[in-house]
Structure 1
């Protein structure tokens, strides 16, 4: 049991991590209050917000795990610890992301496989009924195989993700539940997602919608938790930009670019966690366990990505459990693979928010929330 004011782990583990300045103490993240101090783990895996309303003094400032509970919610920085009534600290002021030397390839692969097994073993020990958000890609397929949990895919009938999930499930000899979407599902869910996450920009809403809609079905079917493959692309070199080393990254090496993507997680993960929690489910992300993060940070360049293959080391581990055709698969980003982005754009244009309007989908989201006064015609 964890303290009601702390999520993710026990207070004793956080106290030890504070004392030793250990950024990866063997958890899947934590946040909350311990001994009158607010804390949030180095990757921001558990959302934590403080009220930054201008008329609220730090001594009277409220904090919460959901943004809806505060007047002016601001994310508490990842990797930070500060007095509950003190000023906001800088990110990574208490814990910083480790920067170990790369391991030899064979040792790095052994460490990664062991770490993934440790993380999934920890999930299996918990007394929860878990389903998997399954896209047919290697990330969610490995989660599904290791947890031996039911598979759910969400998307419009002609979407890439639905077809990819069907073929992957067939290759794995698994049953699959397909959550077919209609445009009305998006119209209904957009305000709920935006309110739960505190975000209205088009990209965040497009990414969150598939998670929310598959989570709704999973919850309705009686499950307690939704397992996801989140973190794999960031940890293991799943993005094209880490190979190209173009203007989207500052690093000059693949390994450095991957590290940049890992450090982007504290901004992304609250959206996904809050979305899943809004359906009444607990999010489960085995690849974000501290042991997996540690192993990922030690991967050398040749086990990350190049022009021929991304997530090479991760795929080698996955190939120990999955058919080759699944372990070697690439995937589309969920908002595109599910066709949610396409259909939300279509709904925005049908409502009069034409593409000539700057950020027209974001303005459509605001309109569904009743917050938009943009002239559409």
Structure 2
């Protein structure tokens, strides 16, 4: 687990300039890899590759960049490549040499043997940058689901890349500037796949590679999709549930066992959901020693599920580390710090809670945990999946206003793409409508010319949704948007790596994921029970209370639920949303924004209050991003 960054500027070959620029880019990625730093330059071509290392596998022999003896190939890897011992042995039998015994060491000889198709052999979560000096070719690769981040900027001078946008913004050819269209998307939570909050900086999409080649003195770029989350056009009409239950069980055991392998201790994140509890239950059996389990507890019973987590910890004999969070931890300096790490806005302070949790994990001398992300995507766990297939069954409870809409909405772009408007999009359409009156005249004009809802739909491959079951369509479109743009960024990697801690989401093992797409919808959701096939696979692992429990809203308590939290948010509003700051950013109408906030604190309808909280969070963070990245304001110190 590491940070990678670099650039290719063919016209810039001054060694001092290249080294100075790369050092600045590496400095802001130090949190991703505090154990070691490395670099490789091809001065005659203006190529620089940089790496910051968090040592987890091959502790004393994992230096990067990894290169061939002749130096004509070099590679940097962020993430984990599982099954590397078997691959390394196979390569040795074929007389291909690995440089060292870290998992990353197998990637370069695989490329030398197989060419670009070597990525098909890789299992795990990874981002890779490989430079082939013989072919004058640069390849940026991102894992199948986008667990590990990788960004890039292409301009007339060349290409710049990094594990995080902040490293790219350190390059002199990239000017930090917030993108107005991206601001609209952040206000409604759903980013267009492949975009970021910053103009000129793109996200390499999951399962894609960017290929850059030097041709006649100019860099030419193209993207290629090498994997996708593909659902079949038809399912088994007479499925045997027991077969699929066993299939899930076998593959999940293998996925967890694979992710427990490391040269450092590996713990588990533990909430009160069946996903993380399943992970802990399997890990307890697979490990020889007790497993360390890390749990977040909130000061609001409606949002806290630590009592269920404790039940699971007691059942497995895990050593549970419980972190209790209040408004003091969720707002103020930690909120600002989490925003800087996220590089985009987030609707709920769960991101801040995750930042605190990764900090606690490192304080306990752990560098890696196995997590439960991805289960809902594979097995139809979210309430909006069930609604898309089976229809509306309730008003959504705590989900209403946040991830479920209280009314049925449609949009022509989504109707054309899917045959319906996915339920996960609908609450964010309502958020956008709530935001419209708050926008400045310039942003109002932009919104008249640009339809952010349609822009997200346009980024989805229609060939992957047409002719599919409604549940498959819902799961696919969510996975292409919110899984990568939300759960695996500000809800995952960015908050974990902020404190030099690696998360390993076992459910997103591609062997398990590819199998899950073949499970008929009526087995994923059976008799109205979400994730039925997983529940049955884990029936002897989970406590009865959890096995029978419906999906719980894993969110931090919004500010409107507590006057103390409201006061904490108001302090941030008083600092970040002054008339001068609002005018400088230029996204909002000052005369409309503050009356909205005053009215939001008086709202008594829970659904509308949650929606107001979302708008306030996003608004605050857009101004924080402006201050942190454009104006260069210093980050606060968190006690």
The two structures have a TM-score, normalised by structure 2, of 0.51
Question: Secondary structure of the equivalent of 2:381?
Answer: coil
Q: Does residue 327 of structure 1 match 2:547?
A: yes
**Aligned residue number for residue 440 of structure 2:** none
- Give 1:347's match in structure 2, choosing from 558, 561, 568: 568
Q: Distance in 2 between matches of 1:197 and 1:172?
A: 34
Do the aligned partners of 1:135 and 1:165 also contact (CA within 8 Å) in 2? yes
- 1:116 and 1:286 in contact (8 A); partners too: yes
The answer for the alignment partner of 2:480 in structure 1 is 263
The aligned residue for residue 437 of structure 2 is none
The match for 2:366 is 223
Structure 1 counterpart SS, 2:373: coil
Cα separation, 2, equivalents of 1:340 and 1:171: 34
For residues 309 and 209 of structure 1, the distance between their equivalents in structure 2, rounded to whole angstroms, comes to 31
Corresponding residue for 1:115?
Answer: 251
SS at 1:255 equivalent: helix
Matched residue of 1:325: which SS? helix
3-state SS in 2 of match to 1:30: strand
Q: Distance in 2 between matches of 1:17 and 1:239?
A: 39
CA distance, structure 2, for counterparts of residue 196 and residue 154 of structure 1 = 20
- Displacement after TM superposition at 1:333 (Å): 3.2
Contact 2:270 2:277 in 1 (8 A): yes
How many Å apart are 1:252 and its aligned residue? 5.3
Aligned-pair distance for 1:40? Answer: 1.3
Q: Work out the CA distance in 2 between the residues paired with 1:202 and 1:342.
A: 18
Does 2:145 match 1:43? yes
- SS in structure 2 of the partner of residue 78 of structure 1: coil
What is aligned with 1:177?
A: 321
Show the 5 A alignment for 1:118-129: 118-129=254-265
CA distance 1:89–1:109, change in 2 (3 Å): farther
Q: Could you tell me how far apart the structure 1 residues matched to 2:247 and 2:254 are?
A: 10
Change (3 A) 1:180 1:96: closer
Contact 2:256 2:370 in 1 (8 A): no
Alignment-derived partner of residue 77 in structure 2: 6
Residue 188 of structure 1, CA deviation: 2.4
Shift of the 191–341 alpha-carbon distance from structure 1 to 2, 3 Å rule, reads: farther
Preserved contact between residue 379 and residue 533 of structure 2 (Cα < 8 Å): yes
Corresponding residue pairs, total: 362
Q: Which residue of 2 aligns with 1:97?
A: 229
Q: 2:339 matched to which residue of 1? A: 194
Contact persistence 2:273–2:551 (CA under 8 A): yes
Alpha-carbon shift at residue 96 of structure 1 (Å): 2.8
- What are the ranges of 5 or more consecutive residues in structure 2 without an aligned counterpart? 1-57, 66-75, 82-105, 133-137, 170-197, 214-218, 285-290, 392-420, 424-464, 575-593, 601-611, 629-639
Q: RMSD in angstroms over aligned alpha carbons? A: 3.1
* Correspondence list, 1:1-377, <5 A: 4=65, 5-8=76-79, 9=81, 10-11=106-107, 12=109, 16=114, 18-19=116-117, 22=120, 25=121, 27-34=123-130, 35=132, 36-51=138-153, 56-57=155-156, 60-71=158-169, 72=198, 73-84=201-212, 89=222, 93-100=225-232, 102=235, 104=239, 105-148=241-284, 149-159=291-301, 160-186=304-330, 187-199=332-344, 201-203=345-347, 206-245=349-388, 247-249=421-423, 253-264=470-481, 265-268=483-486, 269-271=488-490, 272-305=492-525, 308-336=528-556, 342=561, 347-349=568-570, 351=573, 354=597, 356=599, 359-366=615-622, 371=627
Query: Aligned-pair distance for 1:367?
Result: 5.3
Structure 1: state its 5+ residue gaps. Answer: 373-377
From the superposition, tell whether residues 30 and 174 of structure 1 become closer, same or farther in structure 2 (CA, over 3 Å). closer
**Separation in 2, partners of 1:99, 1:225:** 31
| Residues 260 and 266 in structure 2, CA contact (< 8 A), matched pair in contact too | no
The alpha-carbon distance between structure 1 residues 306 and 345, as it changes in their structure 2 partners (threshold 3 A), is farther
My pick for the range that moved more, 134-143 or 299-308, is 299-308
CA deviations over 1:214-244 (Å, ceiling 9, x no partner)? 1111111111113221111111101111111
Deviation at 1:43, TM superposition (A): 1.4
Which deviations, in whole Å up to 9, do the C-alpha atoms of 1:229-285 show, x marking residues without a partner? 111111110111111117335875223322333333332313311110101111111
Summarize deviations over 1:137-185 as a string: whole Å, max 9, x none: 1111111122232122113233422233234434545443221113221
Once the 2 structures are TM-superposed, how far is the Cα of residue 118 of structure 1 from its aligned partner? 1.1
Greater relative contact order, per chain length (Cα 8 Å cut-off, separation 6+): 1
Deviation at 1:368, TM superposition (A): 5.5
Maintained 8 Å contact 2:381/2:551: no
Secondary structure (helix, strand or coil) at the match of 1:263 reads: helix
Aligned pair in 2 of structure 1 residues 95, 152: CA closer, same or farther (>3 Å)?
A: closer
Q: TM-score when scaled to structure 1?
A: 0.83
Q: Distance in 2 between matches of 1:131 and 1:162?
A: 17
